[in-house]
Amino acid sequence: MPRFAIVDIETTGSYAKGHGITEIAIIISDGQKELERWETLVDPGSSIPPHITQLTGITDDMVASAPTFEAIADELEAWLDDCVFVAHNVGFDYAFIRGHFEVLGRVWKRPKLCTVRMARKLLPGHVSYGLGRICHDLGIQNKARHRAMGDAAATVELFHHMMVQAGAAEWIDRTMRRGERESWLPQHVNASDFEALPTAPGVYRFLNQKGTPIYIGMSHNVRHRVRTHFNGSMKSARRQAFLRDIHSIEGESTGSVLMARLIEDELIRTHWPIHNRAQKSIPMRIAILSYTDQRGFIRFHLQRQRHVKHAIRWFRREDDARLWLHTCATEMNLEPELLGLGSDGKGNSIPESIRDAHNLAMESLIQRARQREKWAIVDKGRDADEFAVILMENGNVKGWGYTSDTVERFDQIEDLITLKSGSATSDAIIQHALDEQAAGLLSFKILAP
């Protein structure tokens, strides 16, 4: 039986290209017992995002005096030499380490095993195979969760537990011998890239030889969706070129379909991959806009349009918009005609003497309308111990984030989210999700101030 290097890393982001390593831990095992261990903090060469610090506890100050990856590369390679690389969701850790070696112009490759795949085979029947959940199920303690050595030590216990299960040696032997690429994958793609993809909601990226995303997608089951890209014939030259350009595949869980849609939109707008032909269709909405007429009266009018950034408020249905305006006219004693509700025959006979009071009331209404729509969605996280939080303001997505803390009060929200630029597409995604929730197709919680 070979020696196994059980590895866990902490990083500044969720995918290898463009993110750095902040911590590495390695435990060497003979498959039955721990032999030795090594760990180090790593200077990632960039600031650690606040939400990563919140998750791992690793700060910029902690890595300020840590060695760079280049400084530890020789020592790291020596630790991993002559070992099978083992990790929980091995594609993630392996891709980061391989990518960092490639940046140094070094070719690094080791046989690898994934304890997620191993657990699915040898320990069937668990609801989740995330490290936290399956360790909890098996009574394996992790005294430093989301730190490299804490997670590596928990993975070692899980690995040793599986090694005594019936069929473990045969599974490892079969996995190690199955090194050849699956016949249906594009010619440059390693089968381990596909095997590392989640079977849960998430996003995925097809990368070219330079590591640039050429296509980004999402699905409720990432692995299944990626597989469908490679079904069918290769008759068209464009399809052949597309498959030939794919050199690697990356993917990660997002916890829910809603988060997958939002993150897909953000990634597409960040990278604009050449094979993403167009962004999602943006639906028409009823916008309430303001203007000042020739007599100096502030007025509203309704307009169907896709982009509603400058609207006072907007609605999916015109009836809802008119109902809101009628309610405002009644509550604030405003002329319906000046609120865009059609002429009642008064025309220009509305006396100028009421203009100042009318405009003051309209300005108050505009301010109130723009401030009233602040709420949040609390959705499923990437494992059983996590939640996703999406902050909304005036119908626009303001940001989102993940937290392991139970979110019960609105005043917790802003400290948990990362502000996003947002887009008309992301706003439409939320509105579509609300429709799906009303139809019983999605389930999430809404929090209001």
Q: Which two tokens stand for residue 176?
A: 């190690």
Contact 249, 91 (CB under 8 A): no
Give the CATH number, domain containing residue 163. 3.30.420.10
Q: Which domain holds residue 26?
A: 3-179
In a domain, residue 194? The reply is no
Q: Which two tokens stand for residue 218?
A: 């999402």
Nearest to 151 by CA among 165, 166, 137, 141: 141
DSSP β-ladder status, 374-380 and 3-11: unpaired
**The pLDDT of residue 348:** 65
Residues of the chain scoring pLDDT < 70? 1, 178-184, 187, 232-237, 240, 278-283, 308-309, 343-348, 370-373
Surface-to-core class of residue 414, CB atoms within 10 Å of its CB (0-12 exposed, 13-18 middle, 19+ buried):
middle
In a domain, residue 111? The reply is yes
Residues 37 and 174 in one domain: yes
Residues 162 and 18 in one domain: yes
From the candidates 146, 160, 161, 247, which is the catalytic residue? 146
In a domain, residue 137? The reply is yes
**The pLDDT of residue 370:** 67
* β-sheet bridge partners, residue 7: 26
Place of tokens 């609390």: 378
Q: How many residues does the chain have?
A: 449
Give the CATH number, domain containing residue 215. 3.40.1440.10
Contact 122, 171 (CB under 8 A): yes
**The pLDDT of residue 182:** 44
Q: How many domains does the chain have?
A: 4
3-state secondary structure of 378: strand
Residues 344 and 315 in one domain: yes
Ramachandran bin of 373, using left for φ above 0, alpha for ψ from -120 to 50, beta for the remaining angles: beta
Distance CA 235, CA 259 (A): 35
Catalytic-residue membership of 146: yes
Residues 216 and 250 in one domain: yes
In a domain, residue 339? The reply is yes
Q: Which two tokens stand for residue 402?
A: 């993940």
Residues 42 and 151 in one domain: yes
* The model's pTM: 0.49
Nearest to 150 by CA among 61, 238, 234, 37: 37
In a domain, residue 188? The reply is no
**The pLDDT of residue 36:** 94
Residues 212 and 349 in one domain: no
Residues 90 and 138 in one domain: yes
Residues 361 and 407 in one domain: no
Distance CA 365, CA 350 (A): 20
In a domain, residue 280? The reply is no
Distance CA 425, CA 432 (A): 10
In a domain, residue 356? The reply is yes
In a domain, residue 184? The reply is no
Residues 368 and 378 in one domain: no
344: Cβ contacts below 8 Å, ≥ 6 apart: 336, 337
Write the pLDDT tens digit of every residue in 148-192. Answer: 999 999 999 999 999 999 999 998 888 777 644 445 677 678 788
